[in-house]
Structure 1
Amino acid sequence: MIRIIIFIFLFGSSAYLSAQSSTQFCDYTASENMLIISRTSDDNLASNSVRKIIKTHDGYIFIATYNGISIYDGQEFTNINYENTKSLRSNSIYDFCYSKDSIIWLATQKGVSLYKNMEIIRLESLKSLDNFSIQKIVCDKDGTIWIGTASKGLYYYKNDKLSKVESLPDIEKNIVSLLYCDSYGKIWVGTENGLLYYLQNNKVNKVDLPKEANGAFTALHDNKNNYYFGTRNGIYSYKNNKLSLLLQDINSVNDIKEDRSGGVWFATNSGLFCYNKELNTLIDFSKKNILNNQIIQSVYFDKDNIMWISTYRKGLIQVRSSAFYNYPFKFSGIEETPSSILLRNNGTIWVGTDEENIFELNNGIYKKVKIKTDLNGGRIKDIFQDKDGGIWICSYGGLLHINNGKETLIGNSSDIPDNTFRYILQDKQGDYWVGTRQSGIYKITKNHKLLEKFDVENGLSSNYILSIKYYDEHLYVSTKNGINIIYKGKIIKQYNKASGLLDDMVFDLYKDDDNILWAATIKGLSRIEGEKITNYSELNGLKINKIFSVAEDDYGYLWLPTIKGLMRIEKKELNHHVNDSIVNIRCAFYNEDDGIYDKQYVGATHLVKSDDGKIYFNTISGVSVLDPHILNKQNSKPKLLINSLKTEKKTYHSVKNIELPAGIKYIEFSFSYIDFINPGKAIFQYKLTPFEQEWVKIKSNRKIQFTNLSPGKYEFIIEAIPELGQKKNIVAQLKFEILPAYYQTVWFKVILALFLLFLIYLFYKIRLQALKSNQIKLENEIKIRTKEITIQKEEIAEK
């Protein structure tokens, strides 16, 4: 499955410093932080030529194309076309409207069809339109369906009756290109050759459209009672029964919509534009992205404020706010790898690189920081600003201190015989702790005087320092050989693999407000609470074992960077796991799909959290910033729906109390997980009771099959386990019954049993009768024989 992600960068704006409280697409600053996702026929979209979009009552995105219909759940497309659904007479869907009873009325090249619950319906009362090309269709507030044709006039459908509007003879030989119902209930009708009318109270009113407009194609009545009409040559406003040219440079307008902030959007043959009516300004939203100079056919805003865009050649476009801001080096002409980040007191950002350079990031632009001192090609590992404003730069070419413009290079001296510096911090007393690659930790003063040294010779577990953290006057040191805790000049505690850590290689440490220490290791995350160590890895929910850093956001989530993206885990859930209250942790994964320009984190670097809660991190391509506040406000409410039950004989879309006929050998359940903000971030499990009692886990397959089920009553249960957002599992269930064949029914079995009993009884009676007959026969034979013997005896006696 291919998904094209487009990132809009923040050059020339300060949007990265102040996120919007809500998505306002028409605000230029906000629009530069949108995530644009393109879905095409490569993703199984019915066609790259998309006509119109709407969200259905059950949460799907319904997409009309020139090659049928696509139903989208955020992850997969289900396509309906003439080839698989004969009740859809044409694949060319020009328009649709959504009625109050949740029916979608389709305007097609061959008449009107209806869509409901994954099924296409044709009405007998609309078959007279089957050979008409239906261009426009509108559902008004009263339930009337208005139908505009190509050169066949205007119709309306009400109370199961189709009627023609006879009072508009002028449009008989014209194509209806505009059909719109405003908030007053007026029906606006426009044609390609420039006719414009509105119908109200059974009366037709003509509006003079200037000849230079060259046709009317779309309209909008906004929430401030303003009218906008889109033509081939400009946008017109309507007031006091008169049209006036509002925007001359917007031509070939296909659709007009209003977003929830009041911005008015124009979908045109040359891109997408937004009009700020308060400032009277026009924004070319498509200027710097995939929409530039593209034919935009329509635009739609759903209740989650996601913008959906229909294009003529580029498929379906989804636009939503991203929690990530990206600053790739290449857009400033830099071909280097970031290795460290400093958030300076003046609001600017310094970024050190593996190539010995430091760049200042300000308003989205990188500018090289001039340093006089030669660091001898040593990569920058850390940049720190102390309480007095002094800058300390840890590099593999020495420790550089910049104070009031003066630069001092420290290292390769008798006191500090090392120049591979990795980490520095300042303690409560104002002294500095410096970690190195080769010789452990040095404690120095502001004037560079050595106070203390910790290395393997005096108990440090390793001279290779990966991070140093300072909490409550304790120094927490992670190394290539475990963790060291230093207090008042002594190493008071050590943790390593032998004492319970996942591995000795510990990249970073974080101590939370509950005094729990979290260790990012090469083999997973370790939780340290006193002497108790609890480990988390791929075995119990992590996506990747190798974690380079750890930070907590303001909402109780831990963020763990990896080479394939960022992991997010709720700390509360990890704490519950200590007591074995859950089996697997929920771990969300963020990558390009969520707005990160480059998912690959730079190994052995650290996350940096700002005072306002943002988290800065290094990627191979540059610096990216996570704003958890935006993420927390994204109100994802996923739905889990069972779409159908399919047998070898029939597909059931109305999935309630289904009775299946006898003899069914094959059953297939199809389900959808609808989530457009966090698609794919869930796992599933199912069971079929009473056939199965244990849950069966599945990954991506949305179809589940069973064969040779016995007759009886069943319940199919599917459960979604979201990785983020929704805390509770989501369940969908379907009860159904497989009817028995006549020979499997209880009555048949009772009758059969009675029949068998009757046969046994009959056999018994026949056998008994036979025995009696034999006994009588034997008795008669005995009597005859006895009589013969008696006669013989008498004859002998007479002789």
Structure 2
Amino acid sequence: MNLRKAVFALLVSVGLVLCAPTLMHAEQKPLGISRQDLTLAHYNHRAWRLVDGAPPDIWALAQAPDGFLWLGSGSGIYRFDGLVFEEIRLRSGQFPSSNATALLIAPDGAVWIGYFTGEISRLHDGRMTNFSHSDSVVEQLAQDRDGSIWAARSGTHGGLFHFDGKRWKRIGKQQGVSGGTAYSVLVARDGTVVVATESQVLMRRPHGVRFEVVGNSRGVSRLAEAPDGKIWVSGDVRRTTRAAGMPGFAVVPGSASPTDRADRMIFSHDGSLWQTNFGGGVARIGRLSSPGAAPMIERFMPEDGLTSPVAVPVLEDREGNIWIGTNVGLNRLRPVSAVTVLKVGEDSARTFRLTAANDGIVYVASGRMLYRVVPEGDLELLRKLPEPVGFLEADGQDLVIGQGNSIVRLAKGSIVRPRYPPAPSEIVSWGADAQGQIWITADNFGGYRLSPGGWVAASLADQKLAGRFVFSHTVTKSSDWLYAQDHLLRRVGPLFETVTTKGPGIGHITIVSEGRSGPLVGGELGLARLGRSHFQTISAAREPALRGISGILQTPDCEVWINGVRGLLRTTCDDLKIAFDDPGKRLRYKQFSAADGLPGVAQQNGNGSTLTRGGDGRIWIANNLGVAWIDPARTITNRLPPPVQIRKLEANGRIFADVDRVELPAGTRDVRIAYVAPSLAASERIIFRYKLVGVDRDWVEAGTRRDAFYANLPAGKWQFQVIAANNDGVWNKQGDSLSISIAPQYYETTWFRLLCIVLVLATVWLLYNWRVRQHRSHARDLAEAQLGERERIARELHDTLLQGVQGLMLRFQAATNAMSPGSREHVLAERALERADDLIIQARDRVRGLRARERSGELVSLMEELAAQYRSDGLSVSISFQDRLEPLAPELAEQVLAIVAEALANILHHAQASEVTIEIDRGRTHQTVVITDDGIGFPIEVIADSGRAGHFGIQGMMERANAFGGWLRIENSAELGARVVLGIRLSPFKG
């Protein structure tokens, strides 16, 4: 490319001398803008230079179906999403050259690349196919309606080539094309193929076989098709007689000049021709299709922001942006709503004043310069004043201007100085009320009214507020309001009174506007509306765009414009009412900023409003870097939803790119998902929402962030979804999605969870059995201790009491033998000895009962032995039981048997019963022994007191039951007799 660069440099140097004057800056001259014509002033310029990541030597541009902008450069192939440049790297194979000069992206997504060295490549679905051809430069590629590809090549072995799906074939004389260089080729919408060679311009009609010569050319010529279907050619071209009858072919005016000859050119959707010139820079030619109208030529040069005079490719994307590539960067011209007509410069101060007269003329003042804009007209310098303008107000069709501490009036083009007395200080605001009374605000002194005796300070109900107020006259056209800091006063009769006890809560008040939305009060920290008795507020914390408000404009059709440090807002009366009435609702608005053509943000150092409306309906805005206007009838709205694409997923150091499904190994916890939405109009203002189904309950508001992070993500199958909205809030609700599958660790599998459940259950069962054994062991130890104590008592009774009684009985027997047989004393002694024998027998039986018998847990057999003893005493005892009874521990069985024996003894001696029934039953957690008799029952007081005073039988039974964890209930039967119910616990955990 060295030769081409040298030619460019030479032509640029010539062009800088010969080319027409460039577009003048607004602060130097009027722009000459007509509302019916789009001009370069309607475009916002943005540049990406080498330091921003842009590649050098950009020779070709193309937009893919997915919205990405592709760049062919001297350092390789790149694609751009509006923010980031990404070099295209092949997974396999390689590019034949790093110097790409032509790009074509087919509808199926295939990317055709032409190189400076003559090769052509096809990249599709990650597969690269290279076609060799040397000693020529691929100038341009075009696709026919049948899908075949045309290539224009320049150089020794150049010419027109056609790819039929298998190979490239040169188009020669047999098809009407002579050999030599071809500079440009295009396929018109009707299927006509047009080619420009170094000597001819040729056309082949749809379904035709041969090319026809429609023009003769000398040197480089380029082709472009206008929206109306006409083919335009730039260069030193003369139409042939054959082309005379072809109205669809025309030559760009003035393009025969070497400096104005197009290197590349296109038509935008509005019918304007854009071309990069060999002489340097970019030219925009309008009105080419307007009959009888002279072409309107504008130039965009380095002094206007173009990154370099060496500009080659030019492209209009599907959102209407114009892209221009140069040798040191990429440029975008985006159509915007605002037109800047005045900027801070040598003749302009940093503060701008605005007002509109009754005849619709808008006046603009900056420093000592006074400008005027008539309806449907352009900004023009009216005059230069002797002193800087302190304020600017309209009074009918006249203009009132502040000049220090005095006032001048512009009436019918002449300056008149009224005979007002000097004010206490510089006058910063002026107004006339409905009665014609004139009011001013003197800087640092407060409000004054004009009286026959001079300026009189405004009467304030609260004199502590004096000296701090300015009038809101600029908007209200009256002096009924005073405001400063956070106080708002309204005139009631001769006094100004605070409107409410509680202020609006928006910081320092900066502007008041009256209109169909009511009195609106703007401040540093929000917007308020004054009701009958209180303020309604939308704070900047709730709506950040309402910060630093310095202008409010209410139009007759109920639109409301608000100018603040976050940009210009356009809303409606209805939307404001909704937001004021419901603090939970967001204010609906359209926002305009510097990206939409505004010069900076709302200026904060003026006392008047930064908004006004001209007679033609245009809204005029004073910002900190200049003055602009917006026509509400032709604001630019991007209605194309941005295409959303998930670019890659990162996990465990691996990157998965351009996939719809990702399967991640076990142990993956943290993932990062990157996504884009290549809307090239204003990518920095695209906002996103995403959601991981099953993790996020609702959409996550990501703002402009372009990646999502998830930490500690469990194993499973997940669906990630992302949607986006463009710079004007148009949502792509379908978006893109990605399926994510994370394999489980062994401890996250179903079989492992089941195994854990089994182990837990087994552990519970083991603990249960251990607790049962522990309980039984405790009961056994207690019973053994009791039995041991009983055996000790039995031994003591046997070895002491019974042996002693036996000895005494022997002595009594000896004494009895000494008595006279048959005597009364002998008979009494014999009877006493017989009674003593009975007592000894009973005592021995008691001792035998205290002794530990053979250990057995079979309760039924023990009961049968006990019942047999009482049957011998004349008590009828019957036993009933279930087939399956759980054997009891021998110690527990002894305690149960002792309770039953005590109950039977009580029945035998006290109940006067003839029959006794013992029922043994087993439940899930208890065994019960129910003893029922047909006797006289228990006295009421015995049941109530759980025994008889001085007797311990029933009390002992209850103590024994409590000792082994059972329970005892004594009750009288409903008909006859009594019931004793003994409960025996089988489990220590239940019951």
Q: Structure 1 residue 720: deviation in Å?
A: 4.4
Is 1:97 paired with 2:108? no
More helix by share: 2
Distance 1:555 1:235 in 2: 56
* Selected match of 1:539 from 535, 538, 541: 541
Secondary structure, aligned partner of 1:725: coil
Q: Structure 1 residue 213: deviation in Å?
A: 0.4
Q: Structure 1 residue 738: deviation in Å?
A: 0.8
Could you tell me whether the CA contact under 8 Å between 1:113 and 1:120 is conserved in 2? no
1:510 matched to which residue of 2? 513
Q: Structure 1 residue 644: deviation in Å?
A: 1.8
CA distance 1:244–1:551, change in 2 (3 Å): closer
2:263 matched to which residue of 1? 254
2:739 matched to which residue of 1? 736
Distance 2:526 2:275 in 1: 50
Is 1:181 paired with 2:184? no
1:787 matched to which residue of 2? none
User: 1:468-483 to 2 correspondence within 5 Å?
Assistant: 468-469=472-473, 475-480=480-485, 482-483=487-488
Distance 1:473 1:351 in 2: 21
Return the TM-score normalized by structure 2. 0.62
User: 1:401-412 to 2 correspondence within 5 Å?
Assistant: 406-412=416-422
1:770 matched to which residue of 2? none
Secondary structure, aligned partner of 2:167: strand
User: 1:523-562 to 2 correspondence within 5 Å?
Assistant: 523-543=525-545, 545-552=547-554, 556-562=559-565
Distance 2:603 2:250 in 1: 55
Could you tell me whether the CA contact under 8 Å between 1:36 and 1:320 is conserved in 2? no
1:381 matched to which residue of 2? 390
Is 1:641 paired with 2:644? yes
User: 1:169-248 to 2 correspondence within 5 Å?
Assistant: 174-191=180-197, 198=204, 201=207, 203-205=209-211, 207=213, 210=216, 213-215=218-220, 217-222=221-226, 226-231=230-235, 234-237=236-239, 240-241=242-243, 247=254
Residues 733-778 of structure 1, C-alpha deviations (whole Å, 9 max, x = no match): 5141315269589686599899999x99xxxxxxxxxxxxxxxxxx
* Selected match of 1:295 from 298, 310, 318: 310
Structure 2 regions of 5+ residues with no counterpart? 1-22, 764-991
Distance 1:541 1:84 in 2: 48
Residues 435-493 of structure 1, C-alpha deviations (whole Å, 9 max, x = no match): 33355434448xx6779852346668443333324869882222235101124434454
Q: Structure 1 residue 91: deviation in Å?
A: 3.3
Q: Output the amino acid matched with 1:688.
A: L
1:706 matched to which residue of 2? 710
* Selected match of 2:349 from 312, 330, 336: 336
Could you tell me whether the CA contact under 8 Å between 2:459 and 2:494 is conserved in 1? no
Secondary structure, aligned partner of 2:649: strand
2:145 matched to which residue of 1? 141
User: 1:253-332 to 2 correspondence within 5 Å?
Assistant: 253-270=262-279, 271-273=281-283, 274=285, 276-277=288-289, 278-279=291-292, 281-286=294-299, 289-290=304-305, 294-328=309-343, 330=345
Secondary structure, aligned partner of 1:161: coil
Could you tell me whether the CA contact under 8 Å between 1:309 and 1:317 is conserved in 2? yes
Could you tell me whether the CA contact under 8 Å between 1:645 and 1:667 is conserved in 2? no
CA distance 1:386–1:178, change in 2 (3 Å): closer
Could you tell me whether the CA contact under 8 Å between 1:667 and 1:707 is conserved in 2? yes
Q: Output the amino acid matched with 2:223.
A: A
User: 1:7-18 to 2 correspondence within 5 Å?
Assistant: 9=26
* Selected match of 1:38 from 31, 34, 47: 47
Is 1:489 paired with 2:494? yes
Could you tell me whether the CA contact under 8 Å between 1:506 and 1:520 is conserved in 2? yes
Distance 1:149 1:751 in 2: 72
Secondary structure, aligned partner of 2:529: strand
Distance 2:602 2:213 in 1: 59
CA distance 1:172–1:594, change in 2 (3 Å): same
Q: Structure 1 residue 174: deviation in Å?
A: 4.8
1:691 matched to which residue of 2? 695
> Aligned-pair RMSD on alpha carbons?
4.5
* Selected match of 2:719 from 715, 722, 726: 715
Distance 2:68 2:226 in 1: 26
Could you tell me whether the CA contact under 8 Å between 2:490 and 2:499 is conserved in 1? yes
Could you tell me whether the CA contact under 8 Å between 1:642 and 1:669 is conserved in 2? no
More strand by share: 1
Could you tell me whether the CA contact under 8 Å between 2:59 and 2:72 is conserved in 1? yes
* Selected match of 1:681 from 674, 681, 685: 685
2:521 matched to which residue of 1? 519
Q: Output the amino acid matched with 2:341.
A: N
Could you tell me whether the CA contact under 8 Å between 2:482 and 2:490 is conserved in 1? yes
Residues 368-411 of structure 1, C-alpha deviations (whole Å, 9 max, x = no match): 3456xxxxx7x643222323x44433454134456675422423
1:765 matched to which residue of 2? none
Secondary structure, aligned partner of 2:541: helix
CA distance 1:478–1:730, change in 2 (3 Å): farther
Secondary structure, aligned partner of 1:360: strand
Distance 1:48 1:462 in 2: 64
Could you tell me whether the CA contact under 8 Å between 2:664 and 2:742 is conserved in 1? yes
Q: Structure 1 residue 513: deviation in Å?
A: 0.7
Could you tell me whether the CA contact under 8 Å between 2:276 and 2:312 is conserved in 1? yes
Distance 1:499 1:694 in 2: 38
1:773 matched to which residue of 2? none
* Selected match of 1:433 from 420, 429, 439: 439
Of 168-177 and 256-265, more deviation after overlay is shown by 168-177
* Selected match of 2:35 from 16, 19, 36: 19
Could you tell me whether the CA contact under 8 Å between 1:219 and 1:229 is conserved in 2? yes
Could you tell me whether the CA contact under 8 Å between 1:9 and 1:33 is conserved in 2? no
Q: Output the amino acid matched with 1:360.
A: Y
- Count of residue pairs brought into register by the alignment: 711
Could you tell me whether the CA contact under 8 Å between 1:542 and 1:587 is conserved in 2? no
Distance 1:31 1:726 in 2: 25
Q: Output the amino acid matched with 1:61.
A: L
CA distance 1:222–1:58, change in 2 (3 Å): same
Identity between Structure 1 and Structure 2 (%):
14
Q: Structure 1 residue 340: deviation in Å?
A: 2.7
User: 1:772-787 to 2 correspondence within 5 Å?
Assistant: none
Residues 482-540 of structure 1, C-alpha deviations (whole Å, 9 max, x = no match): 101124434454247x444233x31211133132x322223333333333434344422
User: 1:441-460 to 2 correspondence within 5 Å?
Assistant: 441-444=447-450, 454-456=458-460
Of 451-460 and 728-737, more deviation after overlay is shown by 451-460
Q: Output the amino acid matched with 1:494.
A: V
* Selected match of 1:604 from 599, 606, 613: 606
Return the TM-score normalized by structure 1. 0.75
Could you tell me whether the CA contact under 8 Å between 1:569 and 1:586 is conserved in 2? yes
Could you tell me whether the CA contact under 8 Å between 2:461 and 2:497 is conserved in 1? no
Q: Structure 1 residue 103: deviation in Å?
A: 3.4
Q: Output the amino acid matched with 1:97.
A: L
Distance 2:573 2:662 in 1: 43
Distance 1:462 1:306 in 2: 54
Residues 243-280 of structure 1, C-alpha deviations (whole Å, 9 max, x = no match): 99764534343223233343444432123332625347
